[in-house]
Each structure stands twice: as structure tokens, then as C-alpha cells.
Amino acid sequence: MSHSIRIIARLDIKGPNLVKGLQLEGNRVLGTAQQYSEIYYHEGADELIYQDVVASLYGRSSLKEIVQKTSETTAIPLTVAGGIRTIEDVTDLLRAGADKVAINTAAVSNPRILTEAARVFGSQCIVASIETYRQKDGGYEVWTDYGREVSDLETIEWGKRVEELGAGEILLTSINNEGMGNGFDLELVEAVSSSVSIPVISCGGAGKLEHFKEVVTKGKADAVAAASIFHYHYCQPVNQPNMSYSSPDLRMGAHIDSGNIEFLNEGYGGTADLMVDSCSIGSVKEYLNENGVETRII
């Protein structure tokens, strides 16, 4: 393989909290974004993605303060998504410490924002976020507003279009597979990756080590973003004494102000209900390197 594959931790954020759901719904609160960003920095993640899960719904982005805090305590590339509608929004986030911004909803409604943002800041700063839903007939639709709204765009063609508009990278999220732990949509990832010349980050479906290799070797992804498989490893009650930054607070529900009510009533009773074989970032990189996929080892 001619280049190192990036392993990225994706953090979906609501208010100050890190949340996680299934197919972009039913979020559970796991802790704070700041806690996890510091963990992933120390654990060797190549990048972080911050996604405000309600920004487009409420017409605002609230990640600026969190981005500032992260940039002050960690030295890791950071992509921010959610509620970015104007050049001013991009400016504010980059000044706060973000390295890239990912735009979905605004790009669908006003494609020229990608062109203008790329012209002002450079394509390397502009990521086209594509949330896509696989229909029963096998076709792919672009959805917006964190999977709440259906557009009239076909995913593969939209992928080509965002490259033409100036995006320097694509964040491709399979809504059907997101949080399910049953693997990536390899057909989708390969179709988009083969249709564009810019890097494609595959997101949605990581449930075991093998899935990372599959999406790179078969799907041709340039980077892999994952959430559940990492979050549920690090939010366990402290059982890794060598992790100096471990804390009893890193358990589901330690900072609850929203989430899946049924789950919260039941509490966290172990890992039996998890849909992934949780693992560390280091173990993913080790597995990939042992299986012929080059990654950056810290």
C-alpha cells in the first residue's frame, strides 16, 4: 500500500457530552467530549472528528468552545462537523483550533459554499460530509441534518460533484450500518472511492478488527473513522491500570443530561448488550500492520 491509512476517532457531541446511537438515533451519553479527546490523543489516533448531532436541527454550531479546549490540551488534527453554514462559521472554527471542517446540510442546499470555502481556506481544509442511506432497491440517497432529512441526490454522483466543487476530502457515513457493528458497506465505499480522486474516510459499521482491513483493501478507503468500537473500550469501569488518564468517571452515564431513556433506566450492566467487539486504537493499528495495511504507530 502506497500510503499510511489513518485511524480516526469520531465523537458525536450533544451539548458538552459525547453520545452514541444506532443509525444516528437513540443516543446514549458516555461522558464528555474533552475526556475522550485526551484519551484518543494519548492512544495514538491519527485524527479526531467532532460532530455536533443537533447543530443543523437548531440552526447553530456549539462546538467552538470544545474545539478551543481540545486544541489547548492535545496536538492532534481535528475535523469539525455540524451546523456549518457560512464562511464565517468556517473562519470561527479554524481560528478556534480546528484543522478541517466537514459540511453536509449546507453543501446540499447551497453547493457553492464548498467552492467558496475551498477558495478562501484551501481544499485541504474542506471536507464534504456525505450521510447516505441504502434503499431497498440498492440505491443510495444522500440524507442531511444528521440523518433526519432526505435529499433528492444520489450518493455516487454527489461524491463526484463535491470533488468538482472543491472539497479536498469526503467523510462517507453509511446510515444503515452506523453503530450496528456488522461491518462497513463495502459496495458503497468502493463505489465512491473509485469515482473520485480525493481521499475518502469511511464511517459507519466497525464492529471488529477485520472490518478495518476489509474497508481498506476491498472498499479502497483512505482512512477509517469509528466510534462505538473505541468508545465502549474506554468507557468500561477502570480495568487498565497502565492508562494513567483512566478515571472512574469514564463510564456510561457519568455526565447524563440526555440520551436513551430506556437505557438510562436500566443502567450499564456490562458488555452483553454491546454490538461491537470493543478494542483499543493501538490494537487496530497493530492488527492492520500485521496484515499488510500500513498505519502510523506511536
| pLDDT on residue 26 | 60
pLDDT at 83: 87
Confidence at residue 61, expressed as pLDDT on a 0 to 100 scale: 57
Contacts for 153 with CB less than 8 Å, ≥ 6 apart? 108, 141, 142
**83 phi/psi in degrees, rounded to 5:** 75, 15
Beta partners for residue 48, in sequence order: 9, 78
CA gap 183, 156 in Å, rounded: 20
Domains, the chain, ordered by start: 6-290 (3.20.20.70)
Print burial letters for 42-72: b (CB count within 10 Å at least 16), e (below 16).
ebbbbbbbbbbbbbbeeeebbbbebbebbbe
- Give CA 114 to chain center in angstroms: 19
Which residues does residue 22 pair with via DSSP β-bridges, in sequence order?
25
Helix residue ranges per DSSP H, the chain: 33-43, 55-58, 64-73, 87-96, 105-109, 112-121, 155-165, 186-195, 209-217, 228-234, 261-266, 281-290
**Distance from C-alpha of 246 to C-alpha of 161, rounded to nearest angstrom:** 44
Cβ–Cβ < 8 Å for 132, 144: no
Amino acid 267: pLDDT = 43
The pLDDT value recorded for residue 2 is 57
Going residue by residue through the chain, which has 298 residues, state the pLDDT in tens, using 9 for 90 and above. 458 999 999 999 887 788 877 777 666 777 788 888 999 999 999 999 999 887 654 455 568 888 998 999 899 999 999 889 999 999 999 999 999 999 999 999 999 999 999 999 999 999 999 999 999 999 999 998 876 778 899 999 999 999 999 999 999 999 999 888 899 999 999 999 999 999 999 999 999 999 999 999 999 999 999 998 998 888 754 334 343 333 434 333 344 333 343 443 344 434 445 678 889 999 999 999 999 999 987 6
Nearby residues of 222 by Cβ (< 8 Å), 6 or more positions away: 3, 5, 6, 193, 199, 200, 201
Model pLDDT, residue 271: 44
CA angle 288, 40, 240 (to 5 degrees): 85
Q: Which residues are catalytic?
A: 12, 131
Task: Check residue 242 and give its pLDDT.
Answer: 41
What pLDDT is stored for residue 19 in this prediction?
82
Tell me if 29 sits within 8 A of 237, measured CB to CB: no
Give bridge partners of residue 100 from the DSSP assignment.
Answer: 79
Residue whose C-alpha cell reads 480495568 in the numeric block: 239
Q: What is the pLDDT of residue 145?
A: 80
What is d(CA 207, CA 226) in angstroms, rounded to the nearest whole number? 9
